[in-house]
Amino acid sequence: MATFLRRGWFRYSKLGRKRRNKQVWRRPSGRDNKMREKRRGYPVVVSIGYGTKKQERGLIENKKPVKIMNLNDLQKMKKDEIGIIGKVGKRKIMEIAKVAEEKKIRISNLNTKKLLKKESRKKKNNGEIKNESK
C-alpha cells in the first residue's frame, strides 16, 4: 500500500521532517501543483484504488478489536479476539507484549515478536557494558 505524505513534508520539521507522527496527509490544492495534477515523478495523491484488500478489512470488521490499556484488559480477552494497545507507556507495552506472546493473542498495532527481540538485545548489550566497567 502506498504511503501518502503531505506536499513539502521534507522541507520543514513542523510538517514531519524527522518526525513520523507529524507527517499528516493534506490534499494539494495549489494552482500549479504537480502533485494535484497527478503528474509522473511526484508523490501519489489519495484516491480510489489505494484502499486495503477486502480480506484484510474483513479481519477487523468481523472481529471487533478490544482496546488494551493494562494487563487486566489483556487477561479478559479470548484467544480469537484482536487487541489494540491504547496510549500507554513503554514499560506497560513491554508487559502487555510478553503476556500477549504467551497467550498467543494478536495485537494489531504492535509486532510483539520484534519488540521483545529488540528489548532482549538491548538488555544483553547493557549487561555487557556493565560487566566491562567493573
pLDDT at 93: 93
**For the chain, what are the domain ranges?**
1-51, 59-133
Question: What residues contact 86, with CB distance under 8 A and at least 6 apart?
Answer: 67, 68, 69
Q: What is the pLDDT of residues 9-37, one digit of tens each?
A: 888 888 877 887 778 889 999 999 999 99
DSSP letters for 7-31: TTTTT-GGGTTT-GGG--------T
Assess whether pLDDT exceeds 90 at residue 126.
no
The three-state secondary structure class of 106 is strand
Q: What is the pLDDT of residues 70-80, one digit of tens each?
A: 999 989 888 77
